[in-house]
Amino acid sequence: MIPKKEGERRPAKLRLILLLDARFNHNNTLIGKAIMKYGEKKGILAPEQYGSRKDRSAIEHAMNKRLTIDITRQAKINAIYIANDATSCYDRILLMMPYLTMRHYGVTKQAATSSIATLFEMEHKVRTTYRISDESYGGKDWTPKPHGIGQGNGYAPTLWAGISSLMLKVMSDKGYGTKLRSPISKVYTWQGTHLLMTQTSSKQHYQTKHGPHSLQGQKGLQLWETLLRRTGGAIEPTKSHWVRISHKWKQGKSSLERANRNEHLEVRDPNGHTTHLQQIEATESKRTLGVWQS
């Protein structure tokens, strides 16, 4: 277990890392590379997915989001902006999803079956600075079988890129995102969900400009949360927030309206309980995608 943040040593805030057998993990890494190669060749990876992909970077995607927000402000577009974080992303994935994803991305049935069966039957021990534990848990006889591909798994990032690409396609097909028109070329571009995924974190973001109210935002958030839950995942409300971007005019000048505390966005937490997502002011800064946004 390693700290997620510098100086944070509370067990609940530590990240659990699996030290898999080197041969098994090397094989998984090769499967992950094959998934990305197939996905790029067939064009089935979502354009909004920047994690684990060649010629794509976190800073580039952060710029995409920054420019979208800038245009929203400059053009005085009413919008709902939602930033949400998936909790324990790799550790919650239902193992049927990785199997189906591998098959969808060209991995042979034998390789996919072998990999998932190994995860189901793994025997777990705890390794500390002092030594490896004598006792273990898991194994072939363990019921119910565990799920999750685990932090430290060689194909965890690429599998999530494949799984989330299908989720992003559903969001795009349902019309969630921002349609922008270039003032010079008059070309329309579509900015959908901004998603960045690395081995240590998964952060999901999307914007919609269907109006200043929270109705469309609630529908989009509910759809994303439902898709995420179908994979075994869940949104972490304490690391998520939303912003109501609405402009008011006075004597030819515009200003941002303050947060409307009578409007709420609801989301289910990892335990399945419905809670309100934190609403922040449009002028407030929050750290997302590794950069400060305001």
* Full domain range(s) for residue 161: 2-293
pLDDT digits (tens, 9 = 90+) for 123-155: 999 998 899 999 998 888 888 888 999 999 999
In whole angstroms, give the CA distance from residue 151 to residue 157: 9
Q: What is the pLDDT of residue 75?
A: 84
pLDDT of residue 155: 95
Write 237-241 long-range contacts (CB < 8 A, 24+). Answer: 237/267, 237/269, 237/275, 237/277, 237/278, 239/84, 239/85, 239/87, 240/82, 240/83, 240/84, 240/85, 240/267, 240/277, 240/278, 241/82, 241/83, 241/277, 241/278, 241/279, 241/280, 241/286
Q: Please tell me the predicted confidence (pLDDT) of residue 132.
A: 93
Domain count, the chain: 1
Contact by Cβ (8 Å): 212, 245: yes
Q: What are phi and psi of 161, to 5 degrees?
A: -60, -40
Which pLDDT value is given to residue 47? 86
To the nearest 10°, report the CA torsion of 56, 153, 169, 174.
-120
pTM assigned to the model? 0.84
Phi-psi region of 110 (alpha: psi -120 to 50; beta: other; left: phi over 0): alpha
* pLDDT on residue 59: 83
Q: Is 186 exposed, middle or buried (0-12, 13-18, 19+ CB in 10 A)?
A: exposed
> What is the structure's pLDDT at 76?
85
Q: Each residue of 96-111: pLDDT tens digit?
A: 999 999 999 999 999 9
List of the chain residues with pLDDT < 70:
190-214, 288-294
Check residue 172 and give its pLDDT. 85
